[in-house]
Structure 1
Amino acid sequence: MKTGILKISLTFLLFALVGASCHDETEFPPLEDKELTVSEIKTQGCKDNLKSNDIERSIELKAEGENKLRIKFVNATLNCAGLDTTYAMINDGILRVTFIDYNWANCICDFDLECVIDSMEQRKYTAKVSAGGEVATFSFDYSKNLDSKVEISDDLQ
C-alpha cells in the first residue's frame, strides 16, 4: 500500500515538474517610464522614384553591443524636407520611437530612417515606431543576438 502511494506521489511530482519547465512565457516586471538616449540618427531618401504599389515597408531591428538597439524604418513616408529629429521613450510599458519630419514641405516621398537606442534590457517589448503619421505596432524579444525584420502592412494604425 505504501509503495502504491509513493508511486502515485512521485508521478504527480513528475507531472508538476514537467509542467513547470514547459512554461516558456517569462514574466518581466513592468517597464518604468523614461526617456531613452537616441544616437546615430540617419536618413536615406527621398525615394521619389518608387511607385506606390511597389513600396514595401518594414522595421529592421538589430542589437549592437550589450544594450543598444538599431532601428531602421524602411520606406517611411515623410514630407520632402525630410527628418527633423528622433526620440525614444518608455511610456505606459511601451517602447515608443518617433521620427519627426519638418513641417514646411509641400510634397511627400519615402525615406529609410535609422537610429540607435541605448539602455535596452534583455526582455520582451511592445513597440510603437512612428514616422510622418504612420505607426507600426509590434512585439519583439531584445537580446544581444537580435537581428530581425518586421513587415508592415499598408493599413498602419
Structure 2
Amino acid sequence: MSEEKILSFDGDELQKYEPNRYPFLFIDRVTECVPGKYAKGYKNLTNNEWFFPKHYPGHPIMPAAIQTEALSQMLTIAFTTMNEIDDIYVEGASWKVKFIKEIRPGDRLDIVAEVKSYKRGVGKGVSRGYVDGELACEVEVTLVIPSVLDKYRPKKAEQHAER
C-alpha cells in the first residue's frame, strides 16, 4: 500500500491548478490536498473585498454566488491536481447549495472539499465552508473537465460511420 502524497499551495502556487485570478479567485491558500480525494484551505475575508461595499450596504455579508464559487474552487483543486488532467480548464458545473450562516468581513472561511466520484472527465464532490468551526455553507458540485472527457467521446468521423 503506497502512501498518499499530501500537497499544499500558497496563493501563487495554487494558480497552477485553479484557472481563476483576482478578483475572481476566492481561496487564499490550500493547506492540504490529496489529488482526486480532497482539498482543504481557506479564504480570509476583509473589509477590502471588492464585493462587500457593493452588496448589502450597512450589513456587509459574503454574497451567496461568491460562497458557491469559493467552495467550488476548492473542489476544483482536488481534481486538477490529478496527473490525468493536463489542463486546468473546467467547464460546466451543477450545484446544489445550502447557506446556513452569514459570512462577514473579518471572518475566515475554512473550506473542506471532498471528491465523491470521478470517471472519464466528470467529477462529483461536496465542499463545506466553516466559520469559527460552525458550518456556514455547503455545495454539492458536478464538474466537467473537457480535456479528459474528450478522450472518451467518439470522433465525428466515427459517429458518421456508425449511421
TM-score by length of 2: 0.29
Q: If you compute each CA radius of gyration, which structure gives the higher value, 1 or 2?
A: 1
- Larger relative strand fraction: 1
- Larger relative helix fraction: 2
TM-score by length of 1: 0.30
Higher RCO (CA-CA < 8 Å; seq separation 6+)? 1
